[in-house]
A and B are shown apart, each in its own frame.
With several copies, the nearest count.
Chain A
Amino acid sequence: MSELNDLYQEIILDHNKNPRNWGKIDLPSNFAEGFNPLCGDKIELYVNYNGDKIQDIKFEGNGCAISKASASVMTTMVKGKTKDEITKIYNEFHQIITEGCNHDHYIDENLEVFCGVKEYPGRVKCAALAWHTLNDILKRIDNNG
Chain B
Amino acid sequence: MKNDPNCKFDVAKIRSDFPILSQKMNAKPLIYLDSAASTMKPRQVVESISDLYYGYYANIHRGVYLFSQISTEKYENARSVVKKYINAKYDEEIIFTRGATESINLIAHSYGRPNLKEGDEIIVTEMEHHANIVPWQQLCKETGAKLRYIPFDDKGELILEEYDKMVSNKTKIVSIVHISNSLGTINPVKYIFNKAKEVGAVTLLDASQSIQHVKVDVQELNCDFLAFSGHKIYGPTGIGILYGKLHLLEDMPPYQTGGDMIKSVSFERTLFADIPGRFEAGTQNIEGAIGLGAAIEYVSSIGLDEIAQYEHSLLEYANQKIREIPQVTIIGNAKQKASLISFLLEDIHPHDVGTIMDKLGIAVRTGQHCTEPTMKHFGITATTRASFAFYNTIDDINVFIEGIKQVIETFE
Contact = CB atoms under 8 A, between A and B. Distances in A.
B352 A122 contact: no
Interface in B286-318: none
Given A8-B410, A62-B381, A123-B351, A37 B61 contact: no
A68 B411 CA distance: 14
B381 A1 contact: no
A76 B348 CA distance: 23
B214 interface: no
Given A62-B381, A63-B349, A64-B349, A122 B355 contact: yes
B57 to A, nearest CB: 17
Interface in B316-362: 348-352, 355-356, 359
A13 B355 CA distance: 14
Interface stretch (B44-52, B62-70, B240-248): B62-70
Given A4-B410, A121-B73, A39 B351 contact: yes
A145 interface: no
B161 interface: no
Nearest to A122: B64
B64 A1 contact: no
Interface residues of B, number: 30
Contacts of B38: none
Contact of A65 (B64, B273, B352, B381): B352
A3 interface: yes
B263 A40 contact: no
A25 interface: no
A66 interface: yes
A126 interface: yes
Contact of A40 (B65, B368, B406, B410): B368
B92 to A, nearest CB: 16
A38 B411 contact: no
A8 B410 CA distance: 8
Across chains A and B, which 7 residue pairs bring their CB atoms closest together, nearest first? A64-B349, A64-B351, A40-B381, A122-B64, A37-B263, A65-B352, A64-B352
